[in-house]
Amino acid sequence: MNEQTIKSLLKNVSKEIESKLNSVQIFPQESVFVKMADVIPKRKRIYFDAAIKNKICTELRVNSSKIFSLKLSYSNNVDCLHMIRNDLPNSESIRYWNAGFYTEFEHDYIVLSDGKRTFFFTGYNGTIPEKNFFVSDGRIIFIYFHTDYVNFESDIFYYFKTD
């Protein structure tokens, strides 16, 4: 992604999303949004650009040692950015997994990023079993969910727990 494209992407970040990032002071916004945009096929980046111009669809604050869940409602024409935030003092990461995953291959997808690592999931490749949970490399995770206008599958559930 060239410098002009990066600047164009970042100027579109809504004030609400920018203020949430600034309030947690975890990483500069460009490190997460540029990485997320970079894994999305070019022809579909316009949807991501539109999503970051809006407010966050869900802000989930993980603030105890219990398991928290996030339901991604699967319907047509979804473009949502979700933020999962570890608000527990003395805890620097979040464990996460899901209970099965299926999207319409190459048309619907999830981009998941903790600012350091970014994952692109479509079709069946996004299942993260609890026994093989991922651990975030920081206190915040972004999940971008995109669906097109044709076909939709079962809702997707993610689960989160602090270390």
**What is the pTM for the complete model shown?**
0.84
Domain ranges of the chain: 3-162
pLDDT 10s digit of each residue in the chain, 163 long?
556 665 566 666 667 766 666 555 445 555 688 888 899 988 898 899 888 888 889 999 999 989 999 999 999 999 999 999 998 888 889 999 998 888 999 899 999 998 888 999 999 888 898 999 999 988 889 999 999 998 888 899 999 998 7
Which of the four CATH numbers 3.40.50.300, 2.60.260.20, 2.60.120.290, 3.30.465.10 does domain 3-162 have?
A: 2.60.120.290
CA 25 from chain centre, in angstroms, equals 18
CA distance 38 to 40: 6
CA dihedral 86, 163, 155, 115 (to 10 degrees): 50
